[in-house]
Structures are given as C-alpha cells and as structure tokens.
Chains A and B, each alone.
Chain A
Amino acid sequence: MVGETLRNLLLIAWLLPLCGFAVEIFGGFWGSRRSRVAAWLAVGCIATGFVCSASALTIWGNANGWSVLHHAEHHADETAADGHVAHDSVTPPAPETLAAADAHADAAAKPAAEPDAQKPQDSSAAATTAHNDSADHDHQHTAASPAARTVYSGTFYRLATFGSLELSLDYYIDSLTLVMFTMVTFIATCIHLFAIGYMSEELTEEYVDHHAHLRNGHHVHRPGRFYRFFAFLSLFCFSMLGLVLAGNIFQVFIFWELVGICSFLLIGFYTERKSASTAANKAFIMNRVGDFGFLIGLMVVWTYFGTFKFADTVDVDGHVVQAGLFHMLPRAADGNVIINPENGEVQIGAAAANPGNTHKTIPYYLLVVAGLGVFAGCIGKSAQFPLQTWLPDAMEGPTPVSALVHSATMVAAGVYLTGRFYPMFVQEVLLTIAYIGCITAFVAATIAIVATDIKKVLAYSTISQLGYMMLGLGVFGWGAGLFHLVTHAFFKSLMFLCSGSVIYGCHHEQEMPKMGGLWRKMPITAFTMLVGVMAIAGLAVPGLVGPGFGQLFAFSGFHSKDAVVATALAYVQANPAHFLLFILPLITAGITAFYMFRLWFYTFAGTPRDHHVYDHCHESPLIMTGPLLVLSVLAAYCAWGGEQGSLYLLITGDQPAYVSHGIPAVAGALTMPGHDAVHAVHHQAGTYALIAAFSGTFLAWLLYGSGKVDVAEIKRQLGGVHGFLANKWHFDELYDALFMRPTHVVGRFCASIDRLIFDAILHGSAAATVLVAKWDRAFDEKVVDGLVNLLGNATWSAGNSLKVLQTGRLRQYVMFIVAGVVALFGVLLATFPR
C-alpha cells in the first residue's frame, strides 16, 4: 500500500508541471502579455509538487518507522563512544525487524488488493535473499541495512517490447529519490517565485532588449515572453522530476534529453542575442558528445544484461521474473565484483538468484566500457572536465534559469545518475570518476579566481563543486557526494538568486568591477549572499561545533565538503599512489573560500567603484527577497548534524549495501574505504579543510576586503598566470584548435570536393541537357513543324486557286455540268467501243 501511495504522490508531483506547461504555453499564447497567470500557475504546480513530495517523504519514513534515522543514531552513539569501531557485531534491534515484517506483509498483501501486474513491487524479498546467500557472515549487517526494505519500484506504462527486452516507464522510489524530489520541488518553488519578480520586465507588449542589436544599430523590440519563460520552467521541472523518478536507465536517458532541450530553450531565451543562441547551441552540442558515450553504455547494457530496469521485476506472487540491473552484478562478501579468473568474464545474474540468467556472462572490460559510457553522459550533463566549457556560457540565460537549471538541479543530474547507477560501476570506472571530478574541481576553481562577471564566478564555482561531488562518489563516498549535491543545490541556488537580485537591482550590470559597496543599498541580498558564501566556503567556528546547538556554528558546506574531503583522505591513506585525490580537493577548498569571499567583498563591501551603477541600484521587491531569506536558512542549516544529521542519513538510507563497509583490495586492485575508515580520519580531514577555508577567506579579505593591498599591482606582476586563468586555461582555444579548425578544414575539403567534382559533373550534365534540348528544338521547328506547315500551305494554296471556279453564277455551273456530262460521254464512248 505504501508503495502505491508513494507512487501516486510522486506521479502527481511529476505530471503537474507538465499539465502546467501545456496550459501556460497555449494559454499564454492566446492570452495577454501582461498577465501573471502563467507564473502563478507554474508556482502552483511546482508548490503542489513540493507538498506531494514532502508528504511522500513523510509517508515513506513512517512506513519504515524512520529506521534510517534510528539506525544512524545507533551508529552515532557507537562512534561517539568508541571512536572507530568495527560495528559488524552490533545488530540494531527492534525497529528494523518490525519494519521488515511490515514490508513483507505489505508485499504479501499486494496480490489480493491489486490484481493487475503493473503496480508497485516491493523488491525487498529478492534483495534480502540475494544478500543472504552471498554473504553469510555479513548477514546481520545486510539485514540491518535498510536498503532491503525501503525501495519501491514498478511500472507505470509499457512502451514497447522487443523479445525479452522491454521499454517502459518505471519508477524507482528510494530515499535518494524522495530527497531529490523534495529538494528539487522546494528549490524550484523558491526560484519560480523569485522569477516572478526577476522576469517582470517581460510583462509588456513591447520589450526592448538592450543587449541585442539590429543591423541598423537599433535595439531589438519584441513582445514580452513572460508566459513562455514559465512554461519552459514547468517543462523543465517535469523533465527533471521524471529523471529522478525513472526506474530504468533508458527512461533516465529520455528525460536526460528532455532536460537537455529545456536547458537549450532556457539558455537561448534571449534568442535575439547572438551570444545567447550560440551558448545554447554550445551547451546542446557538448552534451551530445557526452550522450554519445551514454548511448554506448546503454548498448552494452542492452546487449549483455537484457534489461534496463534498476530493480527486479516481481510477479504477483512475489517471485522475481526478471532481475534488475542493480542485482545482476555478482559481488563477493567483501564487495568486490566476482570475476572468472580463467576468461576474465563476469557472470551476470547470480546475485539475483534468477535461474534464467545464470548462464549469461559479460567480459569485464565491457563492464568498464558500460560504466565509462554512462559516466561520459554525466560528464557532459554535469559539465565535468573535459566538457566543462559549456556551463559558463550557459549563463547567457536569465538568472533564475542559471539558479535552477545550471546549478541546483539539471547539472546535478549527472551526479545523481552516477550515484543512482553506482552498483554498476567497477573500480576502474570509479577511479576515473574520482580523477575527473578532482581535475574539474581544481581547474574550475582556479578560473573562478579571475572571473569578473558575477554569474561567471558562480558558474565556475558550480563546475568546481560538481567536481567535488564526482570526486566524492569516485572515492567511494556515495553518501558524501550526494550529500554535497543536496547542500550545494541549496546554497548555490541561493547565491545565484542573490546574484540575480544584484543584477536586477543594478539594471543588468553583471561586471563586479563596476559594483562595490552594494550592501548599503541591498542589505537583504548582501546578507543572504554572505550566508551562501559562508556555506559554500565550508566555514565553521572551530571548537564550538558540536551536537545540538553547536550545529549553529557550522554551515552546511562545512559538513558536506568535510564528508567528501574525509572520504578522499581515507581513500588516499588506503591507496597512497593516488595522493592527488586528496591534495587537490584540499587546495580547491581554500580556493573556493577565496573566490567566493572575493565575490562578496568585490560586490557588496568597500566603496562604490561606479557611481552611476551605485546610484541607480536598489533592493529587490519582497517576492525576490522572500525566497532568498527562505533559502538562506536552508542553505546554512540543511545539513544540520552533519553525517549524523537527518539529511545525510536520509540520503544514505538506501545506499548500495557494500558501500558502508568498504571494499578491501584484492589482486592489485584499489582499496575502497568503508565508513569506519572515513570516520577515523574525519577530524583530521575536517581540520585541514577548515584551515584551507579560513586561509582562503583571510586572503580574500586581505586582497579585496581590507583595502590594504593593491590588487591591480598583484595582477600586473602575475600577468602570465592571470592571463592563463582569465582565458579559462585556454580550453576554448584548445577545442577550437583540436576540433573546430580540423572540422573547418574537413568541411572546406568536402566543399571543394563538392565544387570540383560533383558540381562539375552536375554542371556538365546540365550543359549537355541544354545542348540536346536546343538540338531537339531545332528538329521540332525545322522538320516536324515544316512538314505540317507544308501540308497546310499546300491545302491553302490549292483552295485559293480553286476558289475562282466558284463564280456564284448559276448558269455557268450548268454549263460546267453539261461540259462534264459531255466529257463523261466522250470518255465512255472512247473507252468502251461498241
């Protein structure tokens, strides 16, 4: 029953924005350009979605007795008491057992209540069985892990069936899905509200776009597109929620592309601006590069696994009909993927206890290919190195779009998918993810130091933080990476909205060198921005952070970044060869604090640098500052309690079972740190990160806040480095040289082939045809027409000459008759002799 309720609630939350989109796009087209109805409709849809999601989360939690949180309290107590303890021996007692019984009863009750096959299935039975027979000594642990009881999956609608392979719209509801749903709908609601204020200039019949010029030098005048903006936002919300709810990897791909097209539409919202349309194209094309890899991964999965579904398909009796992807990879008791040492192949389906699949195998390298392929899609979507260049350009879109699509949700979809698809990733893939994330985090952070456009700084910061999340996932910090995803979504959307408020207040001035001292003019924006900056910098007051109200002194970024850095440190301790995976993120943590405070000091503190901008700027209206205040509270404290707090525990409630206890190295492979190893280094890593953050903050204050240091002088002395960073590590130039120019050369070559060969052939044949036609015409005119004319002329002249005989004189005719008769007689007499 719980599964069905959850399904229906999330279905409503998912489909409402789609209905909203349909109504807004048509109603807006026929309605008035000055009407705000579309906006309120969009807000209503997404806010209802939030209510549904939040209720779903509550129902889900009540159904399993909040075992996720209880379990963690145990864990926390343990850690508090003993420090680092191997907690295999402790079995958390009552709540789990109860919840397990509930779940089983639930599954058993279903057949009676719901006769049709397409309905929520509780995959607990299958999963539990699998874990039981795979790991005996681990039994207690797996049974204690809530993974087995809290996942609800099933099918909405079957799209097509190809033999045994089925394409369908599925759902997969676990704690991560629910947290993502709640987070996305909440942030989207705030951003929708903010956008009502931000986009209000579009509420006009004639909008003058000051950034788009016609050829005659005039600005572009066009009708306002207020309704269209909200229609696109609604469509985006629908796509994003569909992506999160998706129960199979192909469905993920479908919505993956849908959010891509929404991103395209929204980046290119000011489509008259050349820069905006180019940026939209760039974003779309770079995503295609990643999606190509995604498709390859999908093909491997299709070919070897024969299903796209995450979860097992269970028939009405609770038997597993078709094992899901997540239960197909056999893992040994220690969490390593079992490889047949003779041929390097992996048997598929053993873990799912599915007799129909036991004979299928997949070469290990193809597992790597599948993982890397899917991750390539995530690289494109989450703007990871080497496909990161599209995201800064995507800031051409309106600022609420940057906040919703290009920081909080869509770009996090890549991280989300990496986390969702985690059971399918093998060690080599995880290592790649870690390095990609690490490089991205560092490169983007360095570029953010020198960016002067307020949105560009935030864009690079987003890329950098996404790199952090990827790094966290790659170093086996499943919870850490996704934890950072959620906290980042809050504070980054907050900061983007603040920057939107600044841009709105400064009449579309985005260059920070023209700002300064704005806090006097816009105190709410400055304050909320400061909260966001402190959150992302990961600041905390050392010594005061503790349980209870001690949490007031630690911002959310402190907890989540701490989790990532701690996991990285544990990983590096276990695998010293990969020390960069800890060093670079630590440096990046410092850089992050530096550039974020630089942004704040540059924009809000000090003295006004451009009096024209300063004099005309103003605080934004309540509809914009309201969401800022709400978001700032969550941005600061959504991670209340850190890794013992409810958010982290909710996210990790359904983490893959082998994650929490880590994977020991076998045969030259890497060691994956378990939670215990991470806890052991948590304080150490946290201290390092805090030192880095504070030094970054101090440096930022020294350079930009204190006014004691001449920044221009430093910039001049470090001109080479500054130029290198300001040119974004020359990535655009590099891609220009690597891909654009060769493409142009190839294009020109193809064009010349066209011109020289195909055009020549075409022109030759055309000329020949003309020649033949001319000859043909001559033949027609001379011969055919000539013959006909000759005949006509002859007839005409004959008639002409004969007409003189017809005199019209009757008696003459009689004479002719007589002459004729006489002649006849003459002939008769001459011819027939008597």
Chain B
Amino acid sequence: MSLDAYLLVGAVLFVCGVICMATKRNGIGVLMGVELVLNGANINFVAFSKYTQLGLDGQIFSLFVIVLAAAEAAVALAIALNFYNNHLTIDVDRASKLKG
C-alpha cells in the first residue's frame, strides 16, 4: 500500500463531496458533502502522518478536523432547522437573501 493509494481515496472522497455540495439543493445534502470533503482531507492528513516525517501531528490535526466538523454540523443543523421554521423548506437555492 503506497501513499498514492490513500491520496487517491482522499481525492475521490473530496471530489465526491464537492460534487455533492454543488449538486444537492437540500441543505442536509450539502452538509453531507461538507463531511465528505473534510473526511477526504482527514485521510490525507493521516496518510501523510504515516508515510512522511509529519509523525503524530497529522493524526492530531485530523482529530481537530473531526471535532470542528462536529461543531460545524451542530451549528449548520441549527441554522437549517431555523431556516426550515421560517421558510418551510431547506432548499439552499431559496436562501439567497445574502446576495450582494
């Protein structure tokens, strides 16, 4: 197993996440895409910690990312819930009030 394989998996996850974020109109779907992107990045961190001189730093970094993702998910879900309460939908295309 070489580093490239891990990176490939990470890249696939990342691309999947991006595509999910770009295509889903459901707010929850977008959040799931975000999770995929973050996990893709996590795989890269862990892989680099294993195959380079990065050591445990990469793994610690990935732990931080997981914690951040959990926090982000909590905030985002709260927003989504409120958005739903106000608009009876979680279609992100309907949330265009912040346009410049």
Footprint of B on A, CB under 8 Å?
802-811, 814-815, 817-818
Contact = CB atoms under 8 A, between A and B. Distances in A.
Given A817-B18, A818-B22, 9 more contacts: A805-B100, A806-B99, A808-B95, A808-B97, A810-B30, A810-B93, A811-B22, A811-B23, A811-B24
- Candidate in A803, A809, A814, A817 with the most chain B CB atoms within 10 angstroms: A814
B98 A811 contact: no
A571 B4 CA distance: 150
Given A810-B92, A810-B93, A810-B95, A815 B22 contact: yes
A814 B21 CA distance: 7
A583 to B, nearest CB: 120
Given A809-B93, A811-B92, A804 B100 contact: yes
Interface in B28-47: 30, 33
B96 interface: yes
Nearest to A806: B100
Nearest to A815: B22
Given A806-B100, A807-B99, A808-B99, A814 B93 contact: no
A818 B97 contact: no
A809 B25 contact: no
Interface of B: 18, 21-25, 30, 33, 92-93, 95-100
Minimum-distance CB pairs A-B, first 5: A808-B99, A806-B100, A803-B100, A808-B96, A810-B92
A802 B100 CA distance: 9
B21 to A, nearest CB: 4
Contacts of B24: 811
Contacts of A814: 18, 21-22, 30, 33
Given A818-B18, A818-B22, A811 B100 contact: no
13 contacts: A803-B100, A806-B98, A806-B100, A807-B96, A808-B95, A808-B96, A809-B93, A811-B21, A811-B25, A811-B30, A811-B92, A811-B93, A814-B21
Contacts of B33: 814
Interface secondary structure of A, over-half rule: helix
Contacts of A806: 98-100
Contacts of B98: 806, 808
A802 B98 CA distance: 14
Nearest to B98: A808
B87 to A, nearest CB: 14
B26 to A, nearest CB: 11
B81 to A, nearest CB: 17
A577 B19 CA distance: 143
A830 B99 CA distance: 34
Contacts of B25: 811
Contacts of A809: 92-93, 96, 99
A809 B91 CA distance: 11
Contacts of A805: 100
Contacts of A811: 21-25, 30, 92-93
Contacts of B97: 808
A817 B21 CA distance: 11
A803 B98 CA distance: 11
A132 to B, nearest CB: 121
B37 to A, nearest CB: 9
A103 B23 CA distance: 135
A804 B24 CA distance: 23
A787 B98 CA distance: 33
A813 B95 CA distance: 13
